[in-house]
Amino acid sequence: GPTARLIRLSTPSRIVPGLVKGRYLARRASSTSQNPNKEAPVAHHHRPPSHHHHHVTYSETDDAVPWLAKQPLHRLSLADLVNAEALLSSARFTLSLLPIRLAHRIQALRNLPYIVVSNPNIRKIYNNYQHSLSTLLPWQGRTISNLEDEIRFTEVLAELVQTHTDTIPILARGFLECRKYISPGEVTRFLDQHLRARIGTRLVAEQHIALHYSSSPHFDPPSSPTPCPETPGYIGVIDTALRPASTVDSCGSFVADICELNYGVRPEWFINGSPETTFAFVPTHLEYIITELLKNAFRATVENGQSKSPVEITIAPEPPSSVTTPITLSPPSVSLGAFNKDHIQPLDDNAPGVTIRIRDRGGGIGPEVLPHIWSYSFTTFSENEDDPPGAWSDDALSVISAASSGGSSIAGLGYGLPLSRAYAEYFGGGIKVQSLHGWGTDVYLRLKGVGRIE
Ligand code: ADP
Ligand code: MG
């Protein structure tokens, strides 16, 4: 249990700078009876008149949702994430944000048409959010005041993060099943907001988990994407010297493997420009984007019969002063302003960034396809050759099944571009697609570093 684990923390003052050992022990002694799951009050029970939109039975946490969802979202700054003075304040800070963020998502799900929320897959996601909120609420009535609390809290948090891992294929399947009842535009509007908010929520949680595990080599790291304890150059989940060329190469060989399985061909790529460039960024975000963009480039290359033409990836560092205006190219389906309050802002506008151009000779994107590429679920990929191209694909279900079982397909979910753009815009970057019809496609990925870190 936590007590046994605490014994290994023989020098808490080293682990949490500024936390004096004597004070820590005193606090710990006074708090041994505290059990957040038993003692804490279940938040504020503000009982509004029953005005639920849907005839769905909600669980007990319900009562807290309208109240929490009315609270303004804290506007995060990167300083909040990386300069957390100690684990305890990081844990308290994390706890202060998450219930509100979860409640906003729950409310957005409730605002979907009843028939959509009733779909078993959407319902599953909804229940998962409810479960997460009801797990965190008991922690809110107390203060995380010692490392024992912090350890327990982090364990709970890691578990919650884990339960939300497979959200995307489940949502994809749910909305596909509901496509008779909700328009692609509405789906995209919901998903864009939902998945952008999810990026932030996961980042907040994972940042605390990573800070926790990197604070002491005695902690056992979870299998999550958190870096190994004390990885040099990492602050939480942020790699302060991330080298995009390395990400391109590792994602490139992964995507080439998938191509080989799908088409029996292994497309090639090369990097030019300034491959030595490094910047501060969240590696998992960059990996997601690069993997999706390379899948698109490789697929187009192979399907266009150009397997001998390597994909060209040009990396250009962005001088600090020029990064002040984020690019907004293809207009996002929901205005960015709506997300700003939900966004983690870069620590300083002069943070160096990088632009990555991915150029393929895959024949470009047809004018009939181009208007749809930023819609969730839109794909021209089909395993069934008789399907009309450019539809919201019916056999996407097999792609979704592959995705749910942890596999990876070359294409077909139709989430690659819109979700990559959501990740890129998160820290003030963007994605621009330039198609040269009949020839190929240039994708400009512009990323802003997450800021100067002292
Ligand atoms: P998916 O790859 O699952 O179809 P995406 O969102 O990644 O979904 O892409 C949507 C569509 O945009 C693709 O189905 C394809 O028609 C088109 N597309 C994207 N990138 C390229 C590219 N580099 N060359 C040609 N078409 C592309
Ligand atoms: Mg794709």
Per-residue pLDDT in tens (0 to 9) along the chain, 454 residues: 333 333 222 223 333 332 222 222 233 333 333 344 433 333 444 444 444 444 555 666 678 888 888 887 765 544 444 444 468 888 999 999 999 999 999 999 999 999 999 999 999 999 999 999 999 999 988 888 888 888 899 999 999 999 999 999 999 999 999 999 999 999 999 999 999 999 999 999 999 999 888 875 444 545 444 445 556 788 889 998 999 999 999 999 999 999 999 999 999 999 999 999 999 999 999 999 999 999 999 999 999 999 999 999 999 998 765 444 333 322 222 222 222 333 344 444 566 899 999 999 999 999 999 999 999 989 998 876 555 544 455 566 777 777 776 667 888 889 999 999 999 999 889 999 999 999 999 999 999 988 643 3
Contact 419, 249 (CB under 8 A): no
Residues surrounding ion ligand 2 at CB below 5 Å? 295-296, 411, 416
Residue 78, token pair as written in the block? 């990167």
How far is Cα 164 from Cα 171, in angstroms, rounded to an integer? 11
How far is Cα 20 from Cα 25, in angstroms, rounded to an integer? 9
Phi-psi label, residue 296: left if phi above 0, alpha if psi -120 to 50, beta otherwise: alpha
Q: Whose Cα sits closest to atom 20 in ligand 1?
A: 296
How far is Cα 352 from Cα 355, in angstroms, rounded to an integer? 10
Q: Whose Cα sits closest to atom 8 in ligand 1?
A: 414
Which residues are near ligand 1 (CB < 6 Å)? 292, 296-297, 300, 360, 362, 365, 369, 373, 378-381, 411-414, 416-417, 441
What is the whole-number distance in angstroms between the Cα of residue 293 and the centre of ligand 2? 7
Q: Which ligand places an atom closest to the C-alpha of 380?
A: 1
Q: Whose Cα sits closest to atom 23 in ligand 1?
A: 297
How far is Cα 203 from Cα 208, in angstroms, rounded to an integer? 9
Q: Whose Cα sits closest to atom 15 in ligand 1?
A: 380
How far is Cα 289 from Cα 255, in angstroms, rounded to an integer? 12
For residue 292, the ligand 1 atom closest to its alpha carbon is 7
DSSP H or E run through 175: helix 167-177
For residue 360, the ligand 1 atom closest to its alpha carbon is 23
For residue 418, the ligand 1 atom closest to its alpha carbon is 6
Q: Which amino acid is at 249?
A: D
What is the whole-number distance in angstroms between the Cα of residue 408 and the centre of ligand 2? 11
Q: Whose Cα sits closest to atom 13 in ligand 1?
A: 379
Contact 254, 260 (CB under 8 A): no
Residue 374, token pair as written in the block? 């930023």
For residue 440, the ligand 1 atom closest to its alpha carbon is 24
Phi-psi label, residue 369: left if phi above 0, alpha if psi -120 to 50, beta otherwise: alpha
Residue 9, token pair as written in the block? 């923390």
Strand partners, 195: none
The owner of tokens 């994708």 is: 443
Question: Residue 384 has what pLDDT?
Answer: 62
Residue 33, token pair as written in the block? 């009876």
Environment class of residue 132 by beta-carbon count within 10 Å: exposed (0-12), middle (13-18) or buried (19+)? buried
For residue 441, the ligand 1 atom closest to its alpha carbon is 23
Contact 255, 294 (CB under 8 A): yes
Question: Residue 233 has what pLDDT?
Answer: 85
Closest to 311 in 3D by CA, of 253, 368, 353: 253
Contact 86, 207 (CB under 8 A): no
What is the whole-number distance in angstroms between the Cα of residue 262 and the centre of ligand 2? 14
The 3-state DSSP class for residue 255 equals: helix
The DSSP code for 220 is P
What is the whole-number distance in angstroms between the Cα of residue 296 and the centre of ligand 1? 5
What is the whole-number distance in angstroms between the Cα of residue 412 and the centre of ligand 2? 7
| Helical ranges in 8-146 per DSSP H | 12-15, 21-30, 64-70, 78-82, 87-110, 114-117, 120-140
Show the beta-strand stretches assigned E in 274-381.
Answer: 279-281, 311-318, 353-360
Considering only the C-alpha atoms of the chain, give the largest distance between any 2 of them, rounded to a whole number of Å: 73
How far is Cα 99 from Cα 51, in angstroms, rounded to an integer? 21
Environment class of residue 236 by beta-carbon count within 10 Å: exposed (0-12), middle (13-18) or buried (19+)? buried
Q: Which ligand places an atom closest to the C-alpha of 374?
A: 1
The 3-state DSSP class for residue 235 equals: strand
Mutate to test the pocket of ligand 1, among 296, 357, 369, 439 (most ligand atoms within 8 A of CB): 296
What is the whole-number distance in angstroms between the Cα of residue 270 and the centre of ligand 1? 21
What is the whole-number distance in angstroms between the Cα of residue 416 and the centre of ligand 1? 8
